[in-house]
Each structure stands twice: as C-alpha cells, then as structure tokens.
A = this chain, B = another copy of it.
Amino acid sequence: MTRIARGQKTSSTLGMALLSLLAREPLSGYDLAQRLDDNVGFFWHAQHSQIYPELQRLATRGLISGKTVKQSDRPHKKIYSLTERGKKTLAEWVTSPFDAPPLRDELTLRAWSLWVADSSRAAALFRAEETRHRKRLAEYRAFEKQIEAGWQAQLDDPSTPEFATWATLLRGLGYEKEYAEWCRRLADLLERRPRS
C-alpha cells in the first residue's frame, strides 16, 4: 500500500479561524493574536507562536497574501488579507459536514467527583465560578444592547458580518447564563440552602 502523501492536510480549524478573522479586515499576526484573545476568544483561542507558522502555511496555499508595511514609529509588520481562493475555502468550510469533537469541561469533571471532596470548599469553588460567568454575561449583555441599538438593519440580513457577530453573541449569552445558573444551583445544594 502506498502511503498517502503527507503534509497535504487542507484545513486545520486554526487556519479557518484565521481566515474567519481576515475575511472581515486585513490584519497582522499580532492583530490576529489579540482578537483570538479578547474578540473571538470566547469560542476560539490561539497563541502567537501557533499563529505565525500557520499564516505562512496559508500564504503558501494561496489562501491569504501578505504585505510588509513599514512604520516609522513602530516595528514594521506584515498585513495579511484574504484572497478570492481563501474566501471560497472559508465559505465552503462553514457549511461542510460537521464532526463535533468531544467536549472537555474540567469543572463538570470535577463535579463528578464532588462526593469525595469537602463540601464547603466545593461550594466556594462553584460560587467563584458563578461570579466569573456572571461577569462575562454582563459584558455580553452590554454588547447586545449596543448591537441592537446600532445594527438594527443588518440583523435581518444573514449576509452581513453584523448578523454573524450577533449569532455568536446569542450563543455566548445562552452559554454563560446556563453555566452561571448551574454553578449557583450546585453551590446552593452544597451549602444545603435549597432554593424556593
């Protein structure tokens, strides 16, 4: 049996994440790292050490093209933008058959062993996690208000980036709300203060 040629993997999710960001605006590796931290950090994340090599691979495959921009006051940078081929690849990936990789949630795993742990310490942990998720929820709600005020028209049109941003925000809102409520319920149970 001849080996299937290696190094030909057509799409890593990280690569698609970078294309996703570049589809909206041309960005440098540094910019991309920032956005993968705060902007879309809720559902995808990567370090700069992973980003720079991946950008080179995407460029080799003709999905993006980079220009070096010289700046007088700061170090020069490479700004990448999507090529037509890149946009096509991205569009196809979005609706391609989906194998959900298994979820890993360490807090839920810990909950599964709650019975061996100290209940009051466990309650404190879940209170702390509830707070963390409530904070994020509050941030998302603030963003939601902005969006609903400023992007009314675009939210009806699935072909706008605003619609897509709003779509992910809806997920963030639901996710954090549910997570916070679960944490709170568990903390209550662990402290034996049954809710009404």
Contact = CB atoms under 8 A, between A and B. Distances in A.
Interface stretch (A2-10, A59-67, A122-130): A122-130
A116 B66 CA distance: 21
**Chain A interface category by residue count:** 35 or more
Nearest to A194: B156
B168 A174 contact: no
Contact of A101 (B106, B122, B125, B160): B106
Give the interface centre of A112, A161, A171 by most chain B CB atoms within 10 Å.
A112
Contacts of A124: 95
A44 B13 CA distance: 20
A78 interface: no
A187 to B, nearest CB: 11
A20 B178 contact: no
A143 to B, nearest CB: 14
Interface string A71-108: 00000000000000001001101110010111111111
A43 B108 contact: yes
- Nearest 5 pairs between A and B by C-beta? A43-B108, A45-B102, A94-B117, A95-B121, A115-B164
Interface of A: 13, 16-17, 19-20, 23, 40-45, 87, 90-91, 93-95, 98, 100-119, 121-122, 124-125, 128-129, 132, 158-161, 163-165, 167-168, 170-172, 174-175, 177-179, 181-182, 185-186, 189-190
Given A94-B114, A170-B182, 10 more contacts: A16-B113, A43-B103, A43-B109, A94-B113, A98-B106, A105-B171, A111-B168, A114-B158, A170-B185, A175-B178
